Structures are given as C-alpha cells and as structure tokens.
Amino acid sequence: MRVASLPALQNSGDKSVGALQARLKRWARLRIAMVPTTALLEPLSECLPLGAGAAWAAGQLLGAEPLPFFLVHVLVWFLSDWLMLRSVQNGSPPFTKVEFLLGWVWSECCAPFVLAAALLNPEISWRTRSYRLDWGGRAHELKPKLKF
C-alpha cells in the first residue's frame, strides 16, 4: 500500500518555526494517545539524550572517553539527517549547510520541550476545529467557546 509518493514532502505550505512546532506537537499528542509508552520512550530516542546515555555507557563499559564519544555520535547523527534530506530532495536542499546546521541544532534542543507541551495539553487544533485526545487515540471534538 502506498499513501503518497513522497510522504516526507506532504507538509502544508506554512513553513514557519511556529507551524513546524505546532505540527510536531500535534503528531506527538497522537502518538502518545495511541501508545502511551511513547511518552516514556520517545525522549530517550532523540539524538542528545541518546548520545549522552551512550557516551556514559561507553565510558563505563569500554573505558571510552565520554565527550569525544558524544561528539562523534552527534556528528554521525547530523550527517545521517543531512544525507537523508538530500536523498528526499533528490539533490541539494534550497538552503546552505550552515542554515541546516542551525535549524538542526534548534530542532534537537527543542524536542524535549515540544514533547512536554504535547503531554501537558491533549488538545489538538486542526484546521478550524479543536479536538481533545483520550487514551487509545479517541478524539472528541471540542465545541467552540462563545465570545461575547
């Protein structure tokens, strides 16, 4: 089954940081509502916490220096994301490597805050309507608040 020819390119036209973070929060809320263990495991799968844990483990188990291990981990993760983006874009993206680096660092640093915001507020705004997510992925439309 094929949903779209390029699923990574199916985002809406608004390319602002606020719109991206709203979309990330919405998807995090959906994942958490459908699979609650996501709230516990997802933060550990992000680049920085995973790298810190792996660097500590490599230091304890293998006697490796944690800081160089962590820096190599982050570099490999960054390069993997860059290569994935180039593959999806079929060539160079329409921005520089420095712009990508800055955006990537911002995204990685904001990831825990986006997840926390998704956990603290189960309301999802989609187009012109708002929904509340319950465990199991059930959504209930919220009635608009009347303004006087």
**What are 15-42's pLDDT values in tens digits?**
788 888 888 888 888 888 888 888 888 8
Token pair 């792996």: residue: 54
Average pLDDT over residues 50-67: 97
Q: What is the pLDDT of residue 119?
A: 86
DSSP assignments along 28-42, one per residue? HHHHHHH-TTHHHHG
Residue that the structure tokens 């609650």 belong to: 36
Detail the DSSP E strand segments found in 49-135. Answer: 123-126, 129-133
pLDDT tier at 145 (50, 70, 90 boundaries)? low
Query: What's the pLDDT band for 147 if we cut at 50, 70, 90?
Result: low
Q: What is the mean pLDDT of residues 43-61?
A: 95
Please tell me the pTM assigned to this model. 0.76
**Model pLDDT, residue 51:** 97
The pLDDT assigned to 1 comes to: 46
Residue among 33, 35, 41 nearest 135 (CA): 33
pLDDT tens, residue by residue, 80-139: 999 999 998 888 888 899 999 999 999 999 999 998 988 888 788 777 788 887 777 677
Residue type at 49 in one-letter notation: P
pLDDT above 60: residue 2: no
Of residues 20, 14, 38, 29, the one with CA closest to residue 131: 29
